[in-house]
Amino acid sequence: FILRGGFAFYGSPYNEGVDNTDAKFSITGGVGYRDPGDQFYVDLGLITTTEKSNYYFYDQSITAPVHNVSKVVNVVFSCGFRY
C-alpha cells in the first residue's frame, strides 16, 4: 500500500501596486496499491485547490473590486496491468 500527500502554493502573478492577491493553494492526497508480483496497480488521488482574487471591471481607481473565491475538488482514479 502507498500513501502520499502534498501541497502547493502559487503566488500572485501581478506586479506590485495592483490590488489583487490572486494566490492559489492546493492540497493533495492519495492512496494506492501495487500487487507483490508487480502485475497490476490501483491508485486514487484527491486534489483540492482554493483561489481568492479581486476582479475589477474598470480601472481600480474608480470602482470597487468583485471578490472571487474559487474552490475546485478533483478526484482521480487510475489502474494499470502489466502484460
How confident is the chain (83 residues) per 10-residue block, as mean pLDDT?
Answer: 92 67 87 90 95 79 83 95 86
Among 8, 17, 1, which Cα is nearest to 48's?
A: 8
Question: 0.95 cut: is pTM over it?
Answer: no
Confidence (pLDDT) at 19: 63
Confidence (pLDDT) at 79: 95
Among 32, 38, 36, 12, which Cα is nearest to 24's?
A: 12
- Give the C-alpha separation, 3 to 58, whole Å: 47
Among 37, 34, 20, which Cα is nearest to 79's?
A: 34
